[in-house]
Amino acid sequence: MERSEKNVRLGLTLPLGGADKAVELARKAQEGGYEELWLAEVNGGDAYALAGALAVGAPGMRIGTAVLPAQTRTPMVHAMAAMTLSQLTGGNFILGLGLSSPNIVHDWGGQPYDKPLARMREHVEVLRAMLSGDKTSYQGKTLEAKNFRLGGRVSGEVPIYLGALNKQMLRLTGALCDGVCLNMVPESALPQVLGEVRAGAEEAGRDPAAIEVVSRLHVAMVDDQAMGRNLIRNVFGAYAATPGYNRCFEWIGFADEAKQIREAFAKKDRAGVAAGVSDGLADAMAVVGNAEQIRARVRAYAEAGVDVCIINPIADPASTPKVIAAIAGCLDGLELPGSGVLRATGG
C-alpha cells in the first residue's frame, strides 16, 4: 500500500508482546488503514533488526524509529543500518534519534551523557555526511570520524528526526532536522512546544512547513478512567522523574507535579513518584478512556498539530489487536490545512 497524501496518518508502535508477533500485528494494522510503523528502543528488542523484518513482512508501510538513543551506537553503525533499511523499504525509512536518559545511556550503556546540544548537532551533521555517500571525516567536540564511506547507496534520502522535549532541543530540531518526535506532550501544549520548533526553523532560514510532527500516543483503553489513570501512574511515573521529562512537564504547566515527583525520586520513594502524577498529568502522558473517548482524543491531536499519531497500546498482548482495531479509521475524512508545525502555531 502506498502512503496516502492525507495530512494526518495513523502509525503503530512495535513490538507489542514480542518480536515474533510483530509482523502479524503490522499486517493487521495495515489492513485497518494504519500507514506507518514506528519503533522505540530501551532494553528490549533491537529496533533496526525488527525494522528489517517489518520492511519485508509488511511492505508498503513507512517505517521509522521514534526514537533510538543516538549515543549507544556509533554514527557509522547508525548510517549502515539506515542505508540498509532505506533499501529494504524503497526509500520509506525515517531515522529518529534522541538523547534518551542518563540511566539508559550512561548507567546501562557505559557511554557519556553530556553536552546534549553539541552531541545531537554533531550526530545529525556527521550522519548527513555519511548518508550522502561521500567519504566522511569529521572532528567535533563529541564525535570524530576519519575517511568513512558507506559501502552502498541509500534509496532516495533518509530523513532525520529528533526526539525533543525542551526549548533548546526543539529549536535545534527546527534548525537541522526533517521532523520532530514528541512523546507525552498533551494536545493543549502543542502550540507552545511546536512554537519552539518553528522558531528554530525560522532562525535558521528554513521553512517550518517542511518539518513533520510525529507523536507517540500511549493508549489505555478502559471503561474505568480512574483505573486507567492509576495504570499510567505506575507505568510512566518514573519517566517524569528523568531530567528531560521532568523539565518538560514543569515547562508545560505541571510544575507542582514535577517538583513532587523529583523530590520523591531523590528519596527512592516509588509510591511518592506515582502519587505525584495528578489526573491532569496522567492525561498528558497518555490517552485514557473508552474507545469513543480515545478516538476523539487522537483526532484532537491531529487537529492540534500532529501529522502522524503513533498508537502505543498499553494492554496485555491478547487485548492489543482489539485496541488497534478500535482506533483504526479514526482519522478518516479529517482534512487539515498545512503542516503540523504551522497548524499548531497559527501559520
Side chain identity at residue 78, one-letter code: H
Q: What pLDDT sits at residue 347?
A: 85
Domain ranges of the chain: 9-218+291-345, 223-289
Cβ-based neighbours of 298, under 8 Å, separated by 6 or more: 10, 217, 287, 309, 311, 327, 330, 331
User: Is the pLDDT confidence value at 5 over 60?
Assistant: no
User: Is the pLDDT confidence value at 317 over 60?
Assistant: yes
Q: For the segment 283-315, what is each residue's pLDDT rounded down to a tens digit?
A: 999 999 999 999 999 999 999 999 999 999 999
Side chain identity at residue 122, one-letter code: E
Q: For the segment 215-253, what is each residue's pLDDT rounded down to a tens digit?
A: 999 999 999 999 999 999 999 999 999 999 999 999 999
Q: What pLDDT sits at residue 178?
A: 98
How many other C-beta atoms lie within 10 A of the C-beta of residue 288? 26
Q: What pLDDT sits at residue 295?
A: 98
User: Is the pLDDT confidence value at 3 over 50?
Assistant: no
Percent with pLDDT over 90 in the chain: 93
Cα 332 to Cα 215, 238, 335: the distances in Å are 18, 35, 9
Q: DSSP strand E in 155-259: where?
A: 160-163, 179-183, 212-221
Q: What pLDDT sits at residue 17?
A: 84
In a 10 Å sphere around its CB, with 0-12 CB exposed, 13-18 middle and 19+ buried, how is residue 234 labelled? middle
- Answer yes or no: are the C-beta atoms of 240 and 258 closer than 8 Å: yes
Q: What pLDDT sits at residue 1?
A: 32
- Answer yes or no: are the C-beta atoms of 161 and 66 closer than 8 Å: yes
User: Is the pLDDT confidence value at 326 over 70?
Assistant: yes
Which band of pLDDT confidence, cut at 50, 70 and 90, is reported for residue 6? low
| pTM of the shown model | 0.96
For residues 99-112, give the mean pLDDT: 91
For residues 160-169, give the mean pLDDT: 97
Q: For the segment 43-54, what is each residue's pLDDT rounded down to a tens digit?
A: 999 999 999 999
CB-side neighbour CA atoms (13 Å) of 1: 19
**What is the CATH code of the structural domain delimited by 9-218+291-345?**
3.20.20.30
Cα 219 to Cα 127, 184, 297: the distances in Å are 33, 11, 10
For residues 16-21, give the mean pLDDT: 91
Q: For the segment 56-95, what is each residue's pLDDT rounded down to a tens digit?
A: 999 999 999 999 999 999 999 999 999 999 999 999 999 9
Cβ-based neighbours of 73, under 8 Å, separated by 6 or more: 81
- Tell me the three cell numbers of residue 204: 535558521
First and final C-alpha spacing in the chain: 32
The closest alpha carbon to 190, from 332, 62, 339, 323, belongs to 339
Q: For the segment 173-188, what is each residue's pLDDT rounded down to a tens digit?
A: 999 999 999 999 999 9
Q: What pLDDT sits at residue 196?
A: 98
Identify the residue whose cell numbers are 491478547: 318
